[in-house]
Amino acid sequence: MKIRTLNFFRVVSFIGGTSLLVLLFIAMQLKYLANIPQPVQYVGLFHGIFFVCYILVVIWTTFIVKWSIWWFLISIVVTFIPFGNYILDLYLKKHIHKEKFV
């Protein structure tokens, strides 16, 4: 159950991190450099929905896996940093293989 929960967390984290990158590096650039604001509305909505889902999944994962407060806080902080979710994923992958969470 813990491995499935962590893998689900990793998928949601990947989608949320990717949506942040698309919002920042594609949609925002189109809005301000090409004067095309529509992508920000759609990508921003998608990212906002996944941001809320990500926070809920972090809370759920914390209880299921019994994460320490450190992992919980790091998981929240990295969602605000571009590429942060990918770095967290590398650490999670390393710890999952060491079976540190199981």
CA-CA distance, 28 to 80, in Å (whole number)?
Answer: 16
**Residue 27, pLDDT score:** 97
Domain residue extents for the chain? 2-97
Q: Which residues contact 27 (CB under 8 A, 6 or more apart)?
A: 39, 40, 42, 43, 44
**Residue 95, pLDDT score:** 79
Q: Can you give the pLDDT of all 102 residues of the chain as single tens digits?
A: 688 999 999 999 999 999 999 999 999 999 999 999 999 999 999 999 999 999 999 999 999 999 999 999 999 999 999 999 999 999 988 877 776 554
**Residue 96, pLDDT score:** 77
DSSP for residue 79: G
DSSP for residue 34: S
What residue type is assigned to position 7 of the chain? N
